[in-house]
C-alpha cells in the first residue's frame, strides 16, 4: 500500500489524442481508477508512443528507440505502465515484449539510447487500463460494479474493441491468459453491464474503425467508408452510445461522423465515449468534469437518458 492508500501504482502514459482532444479520458481515468485502488502517476517527459502505423511503417529503428525511451522513463520510476489507447498499447507493449526477448534488438536500441544517457533494462510490464479494470488480479468486474453510484440504467451501449489490444492473437498474452477469445470477445460487454447499462451486440463488431494503420492519413475517404459501415451496423441496433477503449478510434467515430456528413451527406449523431468517461459518469462525475462538451458529436441525448 502506498501513502495514498492505493493498492497498485502505475506510471500513466497519456499518449497524444487523449490529452489534446478528449481530456475527459485523462481525468476520468485518474479519478475512476483511484476509487478502485489504483493510482496513476503521470509519466513525466514522455514522448509520442510513437504511432505504430505512421512510424512503424517508415523506420522501425526510430519506432523501437522512441518507444524504448518511454519505457525507460517508467523503469526509472520503478513502475509498470498503464495507458488508455490501443495504438499506444501496440507500440509500447509490443516494443517492450520484443526488446525483452531479442538481445540484438535490445543492443541496437541501447546504442541509440546511450546518446541521451539511458539504458533499456526490461524491468517493467505494460497494461491497458481496460485490462486492469477487467482482470481480477488488479481490479475485476465485481469491484467496478461496486464502485458505481449512478448506474447507467436503460442505456443501450455497443462496444468497439479496436484492433491492437486484442490482435494479433498469437502475441497477446493478455488475450490468451484472461480472455481466450479474439474473434468475438465479450469482456467489455461485461464491464458495460457492470456499470448498469445494457450491452448491445451488432454486426461485424470486430471490424476496424477505419483510421488505424495509417489509413486515415493516407486515404481519408476510404477510412470514412469503413467507419460509415460500422455506423450503419450500429444504427440498425438503435444504440444510445458507442463506447471504445482507444482515443484514436474515438476520434474516428466522433469527429469522423462530422466528416461523413460533409462528404457523404449522412448523419448519425451517435455519441461516442471512451469507457473511462462512461465509468466516470457511473461513479458520479459531472459531464463538465469529463469534458463531454468537447466531443464532436453532442452527448446530450445520451446524458438525458442516464442522468
Partner 1 sequence: MVEKKKTTTKKTETKKQDTKKAAPVKPEVKKQAPAAKPAATGSTTQQKPRIGVFICHCGTNIAGSMDINAVQEYAKNIPNVAYIDNYKYMCSMPGQAVINKAIHDNKLTGVVVAACSPRLHEPTFRTATKEGGLNPFRFEMANIREQNSWVHMHDQEGSTDKAKDAIRIAVAKASLLQDLFPKTVPVEKAAMVVGAGVAGMQAALDLSAAGIKTYLVESDTSIGGRMSQLDKTFPTLDCSQCILTPKMVDVGRESLIELYTYSEVHEVEGYIGNFDVTIRKKARGVMTPKEAEAKGIVGGGCNGCGDCETICPVVKPNEFEMGMKPRKAIYINHPQVVPLLYTIDFNSCVKCGLCVTACGPEKKAIDLESKDEFVKVKVGTAILATGYELFPIEKKEEWGYKRFENVITGLEFERLICASGPTGGHLVRPSDGETPKRVAFVLCAGSRDNTGIGKPYCSRFCCMYSLKHAHQIIEKIPGCTPYIFYMDIRSFGKAYEEFYYRIQDEGAKFIRGRVANILEDSKTKKLHVMTDDTLLDRPVDIEVDMVVLASAVQPSADTNRTRKLFGVSCSMDGWLLEAHPKLNPCGTTTAGVFLAGVCQGPKDIPDTVASAEGAASAASIPIHKGEVELEPYFATCIDEKCAGCGMCVNLCPYSALALVEKNGRTVMEVTEAKCKGCGTCGGFCPGGAIWMNHFATPQIVAQIDAFLLGGEQ
- Interhelix angle for 275-282 vs 187-194, to 10°? 20
Query: Using CB under 8 A, which of 119, 173, 237, 262 touches partner 1?
Result: 237
Burial class of residue 291, CB neighbours in 10 A (0-12, 13-18, 19+): middle
Return the residue matching grid coordinates 517493467: 124
Q: How far apart are the first and last CA of the chain?
A: 34
**Least Å distance between CB 201 and partner 1?**
8
Q: Which is nearer to partner 1, 177 or 236 (CB)?
A: 236
Residue range at the interface with partner 1 (CB under 8 A); choices 20-28, 178-186, 252-260, 275-283:
178-186
Asked if 173 touches partner 1 (CB under 8 A), the answer is: no
Rounded Cα–Cα distance for residues 92 and 67 (Å): 6
Q: Is 287 helix (H, G, I), strand (E, B) or coil?
A: coil
Residue range at the interface with partner 1 (CB under 8 A); choices 7-15, 196-204, 211-219, 257-265:
196-204
Q: Is 228 helix (H, G, I), strand (E, B) or coil?
A: helix
Asked if 203 touches partner 1 (CB under 8 A), the answer is: yes
Q: Which is nearer to partner 1, 225 or 289 (CB)?
A: 225
Query: Using CB under 8 A, which of 119, 236, 262, 293 touches partner 1?
Result: 236
Rounded Cα–Cα distance for residues 13 and 26 (Å): 10
Q: How remote is the C-alpha of 231 from its chain's centroid?
A: 19
Q: Which is nearer to partner 1, 44 or 170 (CB)?
A: 170
Asked if 169 touches partner 1 (CB under 8 A), the answer is: yes
Binding site for partner 1 (CB under 8 A): 169-170, 181-184, 202-204, 206, 236-237
Amino acid at each position: 500500500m502506498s501513502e495514498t492508500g492505493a493498492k497498485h501504482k502505475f506510471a500513466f502514459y497519456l499518449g497524444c489524442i487523449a490529452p489534446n482532444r478528449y481530456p475527459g479520458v485523462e481525468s476520468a481515468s485518474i479519478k475512476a481508477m483511484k476509487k478502485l485502488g489504483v493510482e496513476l502517476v503521470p509519466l513525466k517527459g514522455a514522448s509520442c508512443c510513437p504511432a505504430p502505423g505512421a512510424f512503424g511503417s517508415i523506420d522501425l529503428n526510430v519506432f523501437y528507440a522512441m518507444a524504448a525511451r518511454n519505457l525507460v522513463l517508467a523503469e526509472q520510476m520503478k513502475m509498470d505502465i498503464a495507458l488508455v489507447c490501443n495504438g499506444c498499447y501496440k507500440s509500447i507493449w509490443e516494443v517492450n515484449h520484443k526488446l525483452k526477448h531479442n538481445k540484438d534488438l535490445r543492443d541496437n536500441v541501447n546504442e541509440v539510447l546511450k546518446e541521451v544517457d539511458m539504458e533499456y533494462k526490461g524491468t517493467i510490464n505494460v497494461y491497458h487500463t481496460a485490462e486492469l479494470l477487467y482482470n481480477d488480479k488488479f481490479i475485476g468486474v465485481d469491484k467496478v460494479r461496486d464502485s458505481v453510484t449512478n448506474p447507467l440504467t436503460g442505456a443501450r451501449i455497443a462496444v468497439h474493441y479496436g484492433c491492437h489490444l486484442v490482435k494479433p492473437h498469437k502475441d497477446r498474452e493478455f488475450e490468451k491468459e484472461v480472455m481466450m477469445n479474439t474473434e468475438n470477445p465479450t469482456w467489455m460487454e461485461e464491464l458495460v453491464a457492470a456499470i448498469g447499462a445494457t450491452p448491445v451486440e451488432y454486426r461485424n463488431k470486430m471490424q476496424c474503425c477505419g483510421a488505424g494503420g495509417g489509413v486515415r492519413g493516407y486515404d481519408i475517404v476510404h477510412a470514412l467508408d469503413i467507419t460509415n459501415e460500422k455506423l450503419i451496423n450500429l444504427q440498425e441496433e438503435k444504440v444510445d452510445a458507442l463506447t471504445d477503449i482507444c482515443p484514436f478510434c474515438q476520434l474516428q467515430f466522433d469527429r469522423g461522423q462530422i466528416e461523413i456528413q460533409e462528404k457523404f451527406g449522412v448523419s448519425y449523431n451517435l455519441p461516442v465515449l471512451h469507457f473511462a468517461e462512461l465509468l466516470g459518469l457511473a461513479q458520479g462525475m459531472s459531464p463538465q468534469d469529463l469534458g463531454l462538451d468537447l466531443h464532436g458529436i453532442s452527448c446530450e441525448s445520451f446524458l438525458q437518458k442516464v442522468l
